[in-house]
Chain A
Amino acid sequence: MSEKKRQTEEELLEKVTSAEYKYGFTTDIESDTIPKGLSEDVVRIISAKKNEPEWMLEYRLTAYKAWLEMKEPEWANVTYDKPNYQDVIYYSAPKQKPVLDSLDDLDPEMKKMFDKLGISIDEQNKLANVAVDIVMDSVSVATSFKEKLGDLGIIFCSISDAIQEHPELVKKYLGTVVPHRDNFFSALNSAVFSDGSFCYIPKGVKCPMELSTYFRINEAGTGQFERTLLIAEEGSQVSYLEGCTAPMRDENQLHAAVVELIALDNADIKYSTVQNWYPGNAEGVGGVFNFVTKRGICYKNAKISWTQVETGSAVTWKYPSCILKGDNSIGEFFSVAVTNNFQQADTGTKMIHLGKNTKSTIIAKGISAGESNGNYRGLVRIAKGATNSRNFSQCDSLLMGDKCGSHTFPYIEVKNNSSKIEHEATTSKIGEDQLFYCNQRGIGTEEAIALIVNGYCKDVLNQLPMEFAVEAQKLLEISLEGSVG
């Protein structure tokens, strides 16, 4: 590499490091906040504020007690100062009528914020086939298309509303896929979850539109503990989109969500996430801690497909998983995880094959730039009874610059010999030759990187619904601005 090249590369790397987080702004909306810290009383206050039935309070308290006895996991390949759980505010609700009849009633400040986020609600309404449930801090503020969905018997609302209005469903399924004892963060979430989305697709119904939730952490020092529960009855079909952005903050913010998916016989769930929470600044200060437990269970012939594009957060700990319980069920995981500056990610999936002839596919693409560290951790377990099962895994990493790192930790357990597992892994760098080729065609280095990265992620981006794919592409560009291979 010539001296000149090295210099421009350094300049470019400098630029990435100084590239500001585009979504860093806060909104002035009055919040209803309780004092920080966690205790049995706080759990009771949260439950009371939400006017919850007794069984829900019991559920929370059991989880809280379990959490007290649990230790924060340390096995992930990330290092961070553990959050002080007594320094977090566990409930914060915007002081506005929580659920609006129409998006037009939205607080203008909030509307402005959504516009800045690029999810112009006007546009969403115009698109007319995207229903949005927005979680701002802890309470769902707007739900659209409720009626249209209602006609089909589809329930799409905040989990708080579901607890009030459909307690039998919540009671039946909550915590069945991710038990509160599952891990430290799921226990915490089960104790204090503030809001989230609930979705129920009745038997045989194909949801006619993409269901979408935008999460956003707003109040300073608040933790966000969403709880999502999605139930697809026999033979139903749904595609669910989840997008997340958080404003810039100095302290690390804690985010510990739990998502549970239930795909009953012949049901099909597609769950897509685009996450670009604040990754911290160029020195590695601040940023969101994202400790998420996502898991789905597939009954006979059912299919769950996770697609995620992760560009944000300072620390990510996340393994969307599938339990393939029913015979012939299918699990898929498509992921792009970008780390830049000082971001750390330990993410991957678990495919647990229990039923016969179950199939899983894992396509994980990691992109590391700056001084970041990206890890893929995946478990494929094929139980004794899961005869004739198949897994295909492909884990690729793309490195930009020479200060970043990437690791792959595949765990494979096969307990019968009629099943087959294939695993492929590659590590590559963006080549000088590729960049020069693009340059020679008039494409500048920044665009060339975006182009090459898009090509690299194509298999995953293709899984996303159209509008989302475009947004994800933009996010990739933003988060890699200036990085050079």
Chain B
Amino acid sequence: MLKIKDLKAGIEDNQILNEINLEVNAGEVHAIMGPNGSGKSTLAAVIAGKDEYEVVGGSIDFEGEDLLELSPEERAHKGVFLSFQYPVEIPGISVSNFIKTSITELRKATGMKPIPTKDLLKMMRDKMKLLNIKNGYLSRNMNEGFSGGEKKRNEIFQMAMLDPKLSILDETDSGLDIDALRIVANGVNKLKSKNNATIVITHYQRLLDYIIPDFVHVLYDGKIIKSGGKELAHELDERGYDWITKEANKK
């Protein structure tokens, strides 16, 4: 589904990503871990198409298409979804209105008719149930005055509504309380299928107890320096990053 090859990207003279290689297939869950500032969010943003970052080398192929040629909204239309580490406020626009606009645009781009409001509302109610979201939430303004945890839950709610092919969850777990973490993780699991894939960016093994990854990658200084199975996350939890960075430096 997603093939990243020798990707180099940064801002002006500051190269943040160094030759990233990553392949994600349908049905897989990949976890990306790594110290603060190692480039995890940058990688997510580059995949989503934030043009603040300049890609200076390499390629990103998504389902046979050159993703780097597409605008951020076109990438979204193809099924790329990013759950933001820091979701943005859109004052005065209700959650329901925002999601309706989003779904309408996505459907328009794929030649589908707009979904009838009644069906849309029913879908929203279902997904709210899935994520244990209280009534009254739909008429609140997008992220305005939301608590940290509410913002994260709102991201996953949108993911549930938009049904993307590739979801990138950037530290969706941080800010969630213990119950919320379980609810959100369960939600993500329920949305999983053999046709979609998930990249989970996290600092904590805890999330990976719920969303069990097929692969774990360690990003350090803009490079994936180690990949492994779910045991790698446990090891990181116990030993930190030092041993891997030393190992990497030796090579």
Contact = CB atoms under 8 A, between A and B. Distances in A.
A437 B90 contact: yes
Given A437-B84, A441-B76, A444-B105, A459 B92 contact: yes
A112 B98 CA distance: 36
Given A442-B106, A443-B101, A434 B76 contact: no
Contact of B88 (A2, A434, A451, A457): A434
B52 A2 contact: yes
A433 B92 contact: no
B132 interface: no
A442 B90 contact: no
A431 B84 CA distance: 16
A436 B72 contact: yes
Interface stretch (B43-51, B114-122, B230-238, B242-250): B43-51
B10 to A, nearest CB: 11
Interface string B93-134: 100001001100110010000000000000000000000000
Contacts of B75: 440
Given A434-B88, A447-B101, A451-B93, A441 B162 contact: yes
Interface in B52-86: 52, 54, 71-73, 75-77, 81-82, 84
A454 B93 contact: yes
Nearest to B93: A455
A34 B51 CA distance: 60
A433 to B, nearest CB: 5
A48 B91 CA distance: 55
Given A451-B90, A456-B92, A441 B98 contact: yes
A441 B142 CA distance: 13
B88 A455 contact: no
Contacts of A454: 92-93
Contacts, number: 80
B76 A437 contact: no
A4 B50 CA distance: 11
Interface in B156-182: 158, 162
A447 B142 CA distance: 16
Nearest to B11: A2
Given A2-B52, A437-B87, A440-B82, A457 B92 contact: yes
Say what secondary structure dominates the interface of chain B: mixed
Contacts of B88: 431, 433-434, 436-437
A19 interface: no
Contacts of A447: 101, 105
A157 B82 CA distance: 58
Which of A442, A455, A456 lies at the interface centre, i.e. has the most chain B CB atoms within 10 A of its CB?
Answer: A442
A414 interface: no
Contacts of B141: 455
Contact of B73 (A431, A439, A457): A439
A103 interface: no
Which of B76, B89, B92, B106 lies at the interface centre, i.e. has the most chain A CB atoms within 10 A of its CB?
Answer: B92
Nearest to A450: B101
Interface string A417-455: 000000000000001111011111111110100011011
A343 B148 CA distance: 41
A312 to B, nearest CB: 23
A368 to B, nearest CB: 18
A456 B98 CA distance: 14
Nearest to A453: B92
Given A2-B52, A432-B52, A441 B90 contact: no
A442 B162 CA distance: 10
A443 B97 CA distance: 12
A439 B72 contact: yes
Nearest to A441: B102
A458 interface: yes
Nearest to A3: B54
26 contacts: A1-B52, A2-B52, A5-B52, A434-B89, A437-B84, A437-B88, A438-B90, A439-B49, A440-B48, A440-B82, A440-B84, A442-B77, A442-B105, A442-B109, A442-B162, A443-B105, A451-B98, A451-B101, A452-B90, A454-B92, A454-B93, A455-B90, A455-B93, A455-B141, A458-B92, A458-B93
Interface of B: 48-52, 54, 71-73, 75-77, 81-82, 84, 87-93, 98, 101-102, 105-106, 109, 141-142, 158, 162
Interface of A: 1-2, 4-5, 431-434, 436-445, 447, 451-452, 454-459
Given A436-B48, A447-B105, 15 more contacts: A4-B51, A434-B90, A436-B50, A437-B84, A437-B88, A440-B48, A440-B81, A441-B102, A441-B158, A442-B162, A452-B93, A455-B92, A455-B141, A456-B92, A458-B92
8 residue pairs, one from A and one from B, having the closest CB atoms: A455-B92, A458-B92, A439-B72, A442-B76, A455-B93, A441-B102, A437-B88, A442-B106
